Structure formats: structure tokens, C-alpha cells
Amino acid sequence: MDTFTHKEILQQPAAWRKEYQLLVEKKSEIQAFLAKYLTPETDIVLTGAGTSAFIGDAIAPVLRGAWENVRAVATTDLVTNAEDYLDANKPLLLISFARSGNSPESVGAVNLANRICPNIAHIYITCNKNGHLAQTGKAENVLTLLLPDETDDKSLAMTSSFSTMLLTCLMLSKIDTIENEKEAVEHTAQNAQTVIDLYAASLQEIANRKFERAVFLGSGPMKGIAEECHLKLQELTDGGVVCKFDSFLGFRHGPKAVVNEHSIVVYLMQDDEYVQQYERDLVKQVSDNNRLVAQVIVIAGKRVVIAGVKEDLQVVMPFGSAETSVYGILPYVLVGQLLGYYTSLSHGLYPDTPSVSGNIHRVVEGVKIYE
């Protein structure tokens, strides 16, 4: 089936390479903006709605190595409780992620932040040159970064928009030495291409199995990727598969009750030996205690061997974190995207518009912003 969803998943490695070049060309402009508005006292808030919010969840832990005082707060929280998150007495850099730039909460969060914080600057990372954020982001205290046109995904599900916006923000933290990032970005793109070329057919086979529940697990920043994977599968199946996400250690504290014989579990594992000790223990425990439809391990660098565990699929990407730097979390999301796409087809849905009832839309509807 020829769909925007499939095309937009497959285009990600090329989109990442293209975005890297665009940021290299904008280096001086970005440096000048950050030099003016980013100080050690500045609060940095990463914000967006839905998938766009999950970008911040994934990269806030990573960015703390480069920027102080950075945290992720969804626009859906800012709009209702802005004063709980924003300090009027401190400078604020609000980094907004938006595919369309038209979501009511995205626009509302910007307006609220402007009212609360007199010393504010904005970075809009958006895919739609005609969206509200892009069209209004002309002020001196606003830096608008437009992504390649093709990342303005036409499908309901955000795929290349998510990953390319995430990559863009990570590269902002490396802007002073961005020329040195080319190899890491290339290795990251090659990892993603490996998922597509070597594992798409196996993921389709698992998608064709009958399962009712899916769990995605990740540690640290990978938990944010698990969060995005769970949404992709859930929305692309129109809720036909109920999905959960958690950290490996957090999963034991109650959420593990969701696992039954109608479940698949996807483990997004790190190649850090210390972290992986905890992850392997959890995989072994789930495997020993449950009869599952499928278990999928995803890992970069080298294959994981866990005594007594026979997973249904292990997705092994060639380059580990030493070669991919901070960008290494990106290719993992393709596993969730491809599983979502193929499971959507197996449920007889059209992935570009999977919501039969019209319950969910490409740009959220029905939100009224109150003054």
C-alpha cells in the first residue's frame, strides 16, 4: 500500500542529513541568538503537545550535559498551570516543537509565557512554514528554525517530524562545534537505515501476530523514545492495541500487571554496561514469568545475550553510542514507527488516517484557550 506514513518513516535518514547541512549554514545566526539570550541563569523549557512534548522528555536528560536549568514541560501542562512551571523573575528560553505550528496549546503556551515572563526568548522548531508559529516568529527575541519541507508529515502520525525536530535541538547544544558532528549524524542515519533494510520484514511478521497489548521500555532518555513508540502503535491501530511505556526499573512497580498472554514487549536497551545490567535483569524476569506473543530487543553496537531468554527478534544496529554520540537514541524510534505502521495494516486500517471514528486528528481539535 502506498501511504504517506510509510514514505515519511523511510525518509528519515535522508531528512537528518539534510537538516544537519541546514544547521551548519545557520551556525552564525544560531550562535548570535544563543549568545544574547542563553546565560547560566536562564531557565530553558522544552515544550510541545503530544509527540512534540515527548521530544523534550527524551532529550532533557541529554541536554543537561550542555545546558543548565533545562527541563521538559508539555504545552498541555503550561496552558492550564503556567505559573507552576514559569518563574517571572528569571530569564526564560522557551523552545517550542511543533509539526504544524497551529495546535491551540502550542500557540496558547507561547502567549501565556509572554505574559508571565518579561525576560523571555523563543526558539520555534517547526516543520510548517505556513503555520502560526512560523508566520509570527519574526520578533528580535524569536529564532525560528524551519525544517525541510518533507518533514511536515502529511500522515496523522508524526514520524519524520518527531525525529528531525529532536535531532535539531540536540545539534543546537553542539552548535559551536557542529562541523565535528557530521560523522556522528551519519552513523545515526546508517543505524536507522539498518532498521529499515534488515528488520522491517521481521517487524511486519510480528505485527501480523494477534496481540492486544504492547509495552515499550527504556532507561534514561530512552524512556522518552519508549513513550513515543507507545503512542505510534496506539494511534496507528486506532486504540486497537492498548500500549504502555515505562523505564525498565519502574516497570516492576505495578505497571508490569498489564502483561498477559496477549502482549508484546519491546525492550529499548542501552549499550552502556552499567545500565544494561538492570535492563537484562528485567528482560529475564519478564521472560521467565510470562507467556508472551513476542519479545523484541533493540540494541546498538553489539548483540545482547541473556541466559535463558529467547527473544523473537533482536534488532541490532551497527554503531554504538561511542560512534553516534548524543544522537544514538534516534534510530530506536523507527522500531515503534514500523510496528505501528504494519500493525495498522494488519488491523485493516489506512495508516494515514487510522481513526475510524474521527476521535483523533492530525491537528488537535476541540481545544478552547481561556484568558
Tell me the pLDDT band of 362, cut-offs 50, 70 and 90: low
CATH number of the CATH domain containing 319: 3.40.50.10490
Same domain assignment for residues 197 and 281: yes
Average pLDDT over residues 283-308: 95
Instruction: Please indicate, yes or no, if residue 359 is contained in any of the structural domains.
Output: no
Is 156 within 8 Å of 354 (Cβ atoms)? yes
Tell me the pLDDT band of 252, cut-offs 50, 70 and 90: very high
Q: Which residue has the higher pLDDT, 331 or 136?
A: 331
- pTM summary value: 0.95
Q: What contacts 57, CB < 8 A, 6 or more positions away?
A: 72, 223, 224, 227
Q: What is the mean pLDDT of the chain?
A: 94
Instruction: Please indicate, yes or no, if residue 360 is contained in any of the structural domains.
Output: no
Same domain assignment for residues 128 and 199: no
pLDDT in tens, 192-206: 999 999 999 999 999
Instruction: Please indicate, yes or no, if residue 356 is contained in any of the structural domains.
Output: no
Which has the minimum average pLDDT: 106-110, 174-178, 317-321, 327-331? 106-110
Instruction: Please indicate, yes or no, if residue 169 is contained in any of the structural domains.
Output: yes
Which one of 150, 173, 196 terminates a domain? 173
pLDDT in tens, 48-103: 999 999 999 999 999 998 998 999 999 999 999 999 999 999 999 999 999 987 87
Residue 120 pairs with which residues in a beta bridge? 92
Alpha carbons 195 and 200: distance in angstroms, whole number: 7
Average pLDDT over residues 24-31: 98
Average pLDDT over residues 213-218: 98
Same domain assignment for residues 162 and 203: no
Which has the minimum average pLDDT: 133-137, 168-172, 200-204? 133-137
Same domain assignment for residues 299 and 205: yes
Q: Residue 103's pLDDT is what?
A: 79
Same domain assignment for residues 85 and 232: no
pLDDT of 246 strictly over 70: yes
Tell me the pLDDT band of 309, cut-offs 50, 70 and 90: very high
Instruction: Please indicate, yes or no, if residue 178 is contained in any of the structural domains.
Output: no
Same domain assignment for residues 301 and 249: yes
Structural domain total, the chain = 2
Same domain assignment for residues 112 and 256: no
pLDDT of 364 strictly over 60: no
Same domain assignment for residues 165 and 216: no
Which one of 131, 153, 173 terminates a domain? 173
Same domain assignment for residues 165 and 276: no
Instruction: Please indicate, yes or no, if residue 363 is contained in any of the structural domains.
Output: no
Tell me the pLDDT band of 366, cut-offs 50, 70 and 90: low
Same domain assignment for residues 258 and 323: yes
Tell me the pLDDT band of 136, cut-offs 50, 70 and 90: confident
Instruction: Please indicate, yes or no, if residue 269 is contained in any of the structural domains.
Output: yes
Instruction: Please indicate, yes or no, if residue 371 is contained in any of the structural domains.
Output: no
Domain range spanning residue 269? 184-346
Same domain assignment for residues 230 and 103: no
Average pLDDT over residues 163-180: 97
pLDDT of 365 strictly over 60: no
pLDDT of 368 strictly over 70: no
Same domain assignment for residues 138 and 229: no
